[in-house]
Chain A
Amino acid sequence: MEDRRPILLVEDNPMDVDLTQRAFAKRHIVNVLEVARDGEEALDWMARWDSGHPLPVVILLDLKLPRVSGLEVLRQLKAHPEYCRIPVVVLTTSREDTDVAAAYALGANSYIVKPVEFEKFIEVAAQIDLYWCVLNQQAV
């Protein structure tokens, strides 16, 4: 059973946002892609969810963000009694062990390094959709 709730993309690079949208389109992923342009905006989304905006099926989180870092966003999300259940997939260029370890320590559900090649990126988008929007059964 496909989950048609939106996907939240936290990404400051407009080109990456655009390419992500295109990659999703190439794979015919129908979930609405909502975008937060930096960490602060990402945290603002919690207020919207509070006032009834539907929760995302998954959050794709970049780590290097202006103002509030991706790890801080992750920490606050996972500290929230309710929003902690939203799966967070860290989608970043960093292969650093310290970043991987820190992300998982804060409760990240997955960690994916962004490939440079667009074909691979499309493949990544497809896999994310398949796993998190189709296969994965979430707590309600």
Chain B
Amino acid sequence: MESETSRRIFDSLESGVLWFDAELRIVDANRAARDVLGIDQRSFGARIDDLGWPQSDEHGQPMPQHARPVWRAINGSGETTSGIVVVQTPRGQRWLRVRAVPVADVGGGRGRGAVVSFTDTTHERDAARSLLESEQLFRMFGDHSLDLMWIVDPRARKLLYMNSAYERIWGRPAAPLYDDLAHWLDGVDPADRQRVAEAALHANAAGMYQTEYRVNRPDGRLVWIRGRGFPLFGPDGRMRYMAGFAEDITLERAHRDAQERLERLVATAPGAVHSYCQDAQGRSRFTFASPAIRDLVGVDAATLVERGIDLLALVHPDEREAVAQSLRASADLGSAWLATFRVPHTPGGERCLEAHSMPVREPDGGVVWHGFLIDITERRRAEQEIRSLNIELEHRVADRTSELEAKHHEMEAFTYSVSHDLKAPLRGIDGYSRLLESDHAGKLDEEGRFFVAMIRKATAHMGDLIDDLLAYSRVERGRPKLGPLEPAPVVATVVDGAAAEASAGEVTLTRSVEPGLAVMGEREGLVLALRNLLDNALKFTAGRPRREIEVGVRRAGGHALFWVRDNGPGFNMRYHDRIFEIFQRLHRAEDFPGTGVGLAIVRKAVERMHGRVWAESVAGQGATFYIELPAVEQAPNM
């Protein structure tokens, strides 16, 4: 360094400058070089390798002598060389960007050498390195996150970063997103797309946003996402990036849905849901109650639980012991606690409650009942009303029944009077007519005797009428004793009963009975009906040649059909309904005597057995009378 001026210039340079001779000895160094390398003038003349400072390249490989820019400058073809040299100095590792220029004379008669200038890049290097490290750290951190993390450059509409959670949660590759950010919405459920896109757009202006939406994975699974986005600002206060997280909340959501469902259920369930606890010492209190309990017991759920109120304290005093007893029984047997009791003080006055709970034995010996209380006040009231209505109804039925019974008695008394009082004078008329006829015949002429005969005939008819009326009224009264009945013996009784009269009148009386039949009926009623029909047939065939009558029974569907067929004069079907009405006669009395009651008795007797009676005829060709009764499956043992 020849002049003071040039030395000052060199020492003022920011870059370090070193002069080497051809033997690589340090000839001189400016201040910057001395400061960076920590050398002074005592080191001048020493070879750099003698300083014991390992040198390496930028990749950390030891740098042999011939690779160094200074060596290459001295021993090369006279060109300037450059490179990065990492020197381990006593002040630490230094990253130097080196330029070596060969010179013919380094001054001081030392001949040729090289001037080496360098810039210390150690600080820049460190900064770049720590940036790299932090980015690597960030990526590692991001890839370990279960939640999706992303950073977008909104101006360029470009995805800058996204962690691997995307592929895991969305089930889709992330690469297309780097090409076109619009693919972001591909997985989002179509129903939520609009909303999600708007939330993101809005966030640019409003800052942070949060939204929940559904994602359809290619494998068909539906995932619920909670997405959060927020702007990242530059030092100038302007937004540089949008970043955010997206979290798989499918499970949480299912949980929440279940919870909400449960809460809705609890809130809307009839009555109040409760947990009622009895500890090992027998102290009882509510540990949970749904809000509806307030209306049932007059205390709100929070107070009930906070103050540890015992249910028994709320129960009507008269019923406390019974409720306590039912709880003890439930705890002892592990069976459901079912109890009904009154709670006197509620906003709606006294309520009647019903408890349904299952006991669960606790490890500490206590018992917890989980279940519900329902308000049965209205039900009780309705039941009470029904009960009193029933009682009233029973009273009314009893009143009506006794009224009917009174009527019935009245009717019996009337019948009795008819039989007694009407017949007594008849007996007188007949008796005295007869006495007139027998004891005073001499005082009567033929016409007189005819009159007496007419009086006696009318009396006899009147007697028949009264008897038939009484028979009819007897049929009407009283309930039939219905039961399974075999028709064959009934038909036999009726036919045999008329056998004498039939043979005397030269009637061919036949019977036709289908075996194995049974009917639901009353023997007396059926005999009465068939006997009347048979009497009818005998009466109407009287005087006809070859009188034929058939009595029979056969099955007809679910019924048994009885019939009595004759070859009498028959009747005009126009009147077939009238013949069963009382006092209705289709024939003149001189042709066929009768009172017009017999067939009415038949119909009455058959209807009492829930049967049906009708007649078919062609005038001049006989008549058939039918009785239909319900058949039963099995013939009774008779």
Interface residues of A (CB under 8 A from B): 13, 15-16, 19, 22, 64, 92-99, 114-119, 121
Whether B427 and A19, one on each chain, are in contact in the complex, defined by CB atoms closer than 8 angstroms, is yes
By beta carbon, the residue of chain B nearest A117 is B430
Task: Identify which of B419, B426, B432, B463 contacts A96 (C-beta below 8 A).
Answer: B419
Chain B residues near A115 (CB, 8 Å)?
A: 427
Task: Tell yes or no: B624 within 8 A of A by CB.
Answer: no
Chain A residues near B423 (CB, 8 Å)?
A: 93, 114, 116
Whether B435 and A13, one on each chain, are in contact in the complex, defined by CB atoms closer than 8 angstroms, is no
Chain A residues near B435 (CB, 8 Å)?
A: 22, 118
Most central of B420, B460, B463 by chain A CB within 10 Å: B420
> Is chain B's binding surface mostly helix, strand, loop or mixed?
helix
Whether B419 and A22, one on each chain, are in contact in the complex, defined by CB atoms closer than 8 angstroms, is no
A97-B477 Cα distance, complex, nearest whole Å: 12
| Residues of chain B from 402 to 454 with CB closer than 8 A to chain A in the complex | 412, 415-416, 419-420, 423-428, 430-435
Whether B416 and A96, one on each chain, are in contact in the complex, defined by CB atoms closer than 8 angstroms, is yes
- Min Cβ gap A55→B in Å is 28
A12-B389 Cα distance, complex, nearest whole Å: 52
A44-B424 Cα distance, complex, nearest whole Å: 25
Chain A residues near B419 (CB, 8 Å)?
A: 93-96
- Min Cβ gap A63→B in Å is 8
- Min Cβ gap B573→A in Å is 36
Whether B470 and A15, one on each chain, are in contact in the complex, defined by CB atoms closer than 8 angstroms, is no
By beta carbon, the residue of chain B nearest A13 is B424
Asked whether A64 and B420 contact (CB < 8 A) given A15-B428, A119-B434, the answer is: yes
- Min Cβ gap B457→A in Å is 11
- Min Cβ gap A131→B in Å is 22
- Min Cβ gap B459→A in Å is 7
Chain A residues near B459 (CB, 8 Å)?
A: 116
- Min Cβ gap B525→A in Å is 14
- Min Cβ gap B434→A in Å is 4
Chain B residues near A64 (CB, 8 Å)?
A: 416, 420
A114-B474 Cα distance, complex, nearest whole Å: 19
Whether A118 and B431, one on each chain, are in contact in the complex, defined by CB atoms closer than 8 angstroms, is yes
By beta carbon, the residue of chain B nearest A119 is B434
Identify 18 residue pairs between A and B in the complex whose beta-carbon atoms are under 8 Å apart, listed by A's number. Answer: A15-B427, A15-B431, A16-B427, A19-B427, A19-B432, A22-B431, A64-B416, A94-B419, A94-B420, A96-B412, A96-B474, A99-B416, A116-B426, A116-B460, A116-B463, A117-B434, A119-B434, A121-B427
A97-B435 Cα distance, complex, nearest whole Å: 32
Chain A residues near B430 (CB, 8 Å)?
A: 116-118
A86-B543 Cα distance, complex, nearest whole Å: 51
Whether B416 and A117, one on each chain, are in contact in the complex, defined by CB atoms closer than 8 angstroms, is no
- Apart from A64-B420, A116-B459, list 19 A-B contacts with CB within 8 A: A16-B424, A16-B427, A19-B431, A19-B432, A22-B435, A93-B420, A93-B423, A94-B416, A95-B419, A95-B470, A96-B412, A96-B415, A98-B412, A99-B416, A116-B423, A117-B434, A117-B463, A118-B433, A121-B431
